Structure 1
């Protein structure tokens, strides 16, 4: 007897699930590169510091990490004492950092014969260098033979220049996207700027030293608490023309440009002149204080901060105090305290002594605070007070001001 066959029902149509478009991803590794130039002025004065003693650059940021250059004029180790040593150090805490490095001793003759030590342009047998914690370094114990360095074109006017490039390795995963829509950059400032330039629907005119500026009360009131009070709460609400005293037309024009566009024309912020107070940046700082424009004040502070030097810090400190630029004032006090001897011999310090005595007291407190951080002794504070009040050095001798 034969087996009975099993009959399986097969449907007329086979239902297939909806096809999902394929997706993809890509693992990308590249570097975020940044550079820093370290200038060593007065090379002959740092020789003889001793083996293992170094000077360092200011810290700089690349790839979200802080870095610094260390230079050892007498070598990092005793066996390297015939050479100068140069290193790049990680100066911030965090997880392991993998990076590429380049140190260049700049040829100052103009011939371009730089001494370059680089990770970037050679085959990486072991991959990028890994730094595991703050203070870890990469560099050369025998960066350059000292005797050759001192007779070379790398040293000019007792000055060395070292360029450093750091390439921080970063990895990302790029995923496919089926649809993307590009969003344009913000353009509100451009639209309001056109409103100012075309003078369309303006309802107030400012007379600044005979030059007329058309503007809009609501825009000004929205940007400045002072204008808000004048136009919406005060007696200027119905005024059609307002005379502005004690301000130059170019300053008022730059201020209006900021109010409408929330930006400044960088080219207008000219390089520092002999007198800091004559610069457009300083005059805009005054305008920002007058009309309570907080962001404009901060922009001016940022620009003036870049001009701080031994010769300019006293002038900038006086401006910061006069126009309530708190952050700029703090930076100036710290810089002056850290470079007190040189600042006291600058041209601007005598003006500070004669015209801003209250700032001298604040400078003394800043100096005392710096000393408290480095020493528990109080003798130095008294000597500093003698310098600030007499203009003399710590032994009582007068310091001759430069003319």
Structure 2
């Protein structure tokens, strides 16, 4: 029989198709800190605390720490540490690494790595939500408590998860490099130089040239103002009130480029306070002109910069402009036991009381929900104390005063 497409000895030639199955891991790490380790002891075997959930490879994970060990038969001689699949999943294959950080600066970390044993045993398979990988005898407690891993009653652990993925690769016949989209930069040039502009905005003592069609395409408010039933397509100048020039300029730049502008570049200030204030005003402008993407970008930026000093003004802003996610983040931050006292002492909280008193009840509800989920046995006393703290104040002479709503 005549062979086609091959070479002597059965070696295939170059006229065959090829494909490749590629197995790889999607890796990410999470740092889990336990402050007040000594207070966690005595919970009892099998009792645990967990880290916040983190996402790797499309699944959620959490670190479980057992200060008195997972197994009663170990008589609390060891601490146990596990990584758990915290979201729905079936037969999720992954590699893991748990690192107890040496806090002396010597770099002698305690590392339990599944990655090093991948060739020997392969990935670990988690069958369902709640499945765990880890160590019942992660570290002997007496040794841990005299080691450099414990400093100022604090433990720090790094958890790395590598979720196994596989994909099929086929050769590409042609590859032509394509530059990234540049429409935003091109439109931004139009805005910068005012080429073909047909509308002028007067904002304070500054003016901005723009293009009605672009503004109408980006904002339902401008669309109605220029081309709606009662709009005026022939208007040539608009006076804008209640918006500062840098804020309006930032909004225009976003509308032309679809990117959040550099606040430092616009304000000429590197002050964090100035930056946050600018983003807060930009969020308000985005809401005023119906720019939902800009509004969400501002929400995300403000979430990253939340502190005890900024959370109350940000919470007030979120309530006034219906930013549900930002409001939720602010409430959770404020209700945290370690933050609440500091927040109550800020000027921003005084303004919150006056402008949005209903938020005080939202804060109390969030505190109560946290107490219910973490300290059910202490719910009544904790809620009463925190409620008194929020509802009562102290005057200049140190006497308690009742806050009115």
| Length-normalised TM-score, structure 1 | 0.79
Gaps (5+ residues) in structure 1? 1-15
Distance change in 2, residues 1:325/1:183 (3 Å) = same
Mapped to 1, the partners of 2:87 and 2:322 lie a distance apart of 32
The answer to whether structure 1 residue 25 and structure 2 residue 19 are counterparts is: yes
**C-alpha spacing 1:142/1:297, structure 2 compared with 1 (3 Å):** same
Q: Paired residue for 2:340?
A: 343
Partner residue in 2 for 1:70: 64
Are the equivalent residues in 2 in contact too, given 1:58–1:68 (CA < 8 A)? yes
1:357 corresponds to? 357
In structure 2, distance between residues paired with 1:398 and 1:87 = 47
- Report what 1:320 is aligned to: 318
Stretch deviating more after TM superposition (241-250 or 218-227): 241-250
Bigger helix fraction:
2
**Counterpart-to-counterpart distance in 2, 1:380 and 1:223:** 52
SS at match of 1:247: coil
Match of 1:298 in 2: 296
Partners of 2:97 and 2:159 within 8 A in 1: yes
Which structure: larger Rg? 1
Aligned to 1:82: 77
Q: Please tell me whether residue 36 in structure 1 is matched to residue 37 in structure 2.
A: no
Shift in alpha-carbon separation, 1:365–1:22, aligned structure 2, 3 A:
same
How far is 1:268 from its partner?
A: 4.5
Matches within 5 A, 1:153-168: 153-168=148-163
Partner SS state of residue 130, structure 1: strand
- List aligned pairs for 1:64-213, cutoff 5 A: 64-78=58-72, 79=74, 81-122=76-117, 124-179=119-174, 184-213=179-208
Distance 1:133 1:235, change over 3 A: closer
1:170–1:203 distance in 2 versus 1, CA, 3 Å: same
For residues 211-268 of structure 1, the C-alpha deviation after alignment (integer angstroms, 9 at most, x for no partner) is 3322212111211122222223457644434333333332222211211111114674
Q: How many residues end up aligned between the 2 structures? A: 378
Specify the alignment match of 1:391 in structure 2. 392
CA distance change for structure 1 residues 136 and 341 in 2, over 3 Å: closer, same or farther? Answer: same
1:60 aligns with 2:54: yes
Alpha-carbon contact 1:364-1:384 (below 8 Å) kept: no
Aligned to 1:250: 246
The question of whether the paired residues in 1 share the 8 Å contact of 2:364 and 2:387 is answered with: no
Deviation for aligned residue 1:336 = 4.6
1:132-173 Cα deviation digits (max 9, x unpaired): 111111112222333333333333333322111111111122
Deviation at 1:62, TM superposition (A): 0.7
Q: Does the alignment pair 1:280 with 2:274?
A: no
Secondary structure class of the residue paired with 1:163: strand
Is the contact between residue 49 and residue 64 of structure 2 (CA under 8 Å) also seen in structure 1?
yes
Residue of structure 1 equivalent to 2:305? 307
Rounded to whole Å, the distance in 2 between the matches of 1:123 and 1:365 is: 47
1:311 to partner: Cα distance: 5.6
Does structure 2 conserve the Cα–Cα contact (< 8 Å) formed by 1:99 and 1:128?
Answer: yes
Shift of the 152–253 alpha-carbon distance from structure 1 to 2, 3 Å rule, reads: farther
Structure 2 residue runs without a partner (length 5+): 6-12, 394-398
